[in-house]
Structure 1
């Protein structure tokens, strides 16, 4: 099992290894790779040659539902991001079709088809998705209801619209 150093993924890998041993009697070797160590270049030593049986890694999908780069069979190459070497012609077709549609509804339909196929094949397991809590004072209007916060930095996407409301109990200051 390969995991990145100094991350929550080390804890996850340790937990998985323990559960596999306790429940299935499977022993796991955990290889921790430091992404900041040039001699351990994770891209060249692990990802490109697919030198792992299990990879605990993060895929940052963003707000667009297009996952072509991660799951299309054409990306199962040394330079591609399809690290599990997933290959399914019907899934490929759904991904290709989805990214060629302009209509959000048509794209969603194609990606839903892909998701159903992908889940049935299970080329990877999503362990969790982080949530971002964003707290602000009630009288400060920050994000509108349509703002999608996918990454923490997205909370600033409409900063130019931020405003505060005056309290009815606040007296205006006299100006000199």
Structure 2
């Protein structure tokens, strides 16, 4: 699945950076033979936050303005990056501060959209039904997979908390 995702990103003019977080089951070194993909191989699993931070640092070093995040099981349609960027630019042109922008998250197995969540100042949660939306919806929490964050926002807000191994990395950052 990672190879399919890398191919889809390359076709959408994105330079994939694969962070191999200490895997022993698959050798990703073949990805780096092609100059269109970067590979960071960690000797052991340091957790998702550290892996994301390593990828962010590499992307910034390559001159990226935006960072897209994906998990090993993510898949995207052929117009995903273009549509995400169009939505982002639309929000920016309306003078809306965008911390991050992300997709509607669908469960392919059962064919439903997960609700996105906003947390109010008093701590209560609001669940937003995203199954029928046709324009961006404000939400205070996004999952990392499929999200896009500008480098300028990362420099202002900071990176992911390395001490978080897997749980709450994305929601804490939001």
What is the TM-score when the length of structure 1 is the normalising length?
A: 0.26
Q: Which has the higher strand share?
A: 2
Bigger Rg, structure 1 or 2: 1
Q: Which has the higher helix share?
A: 1
- Larger RCO: Structure 1 or Structure 2 (Cα < 8 Å, ≥ 6 residues apart)? 2
What is the TM-score when the length of structure 2 is the normalising length?
A: 0.26
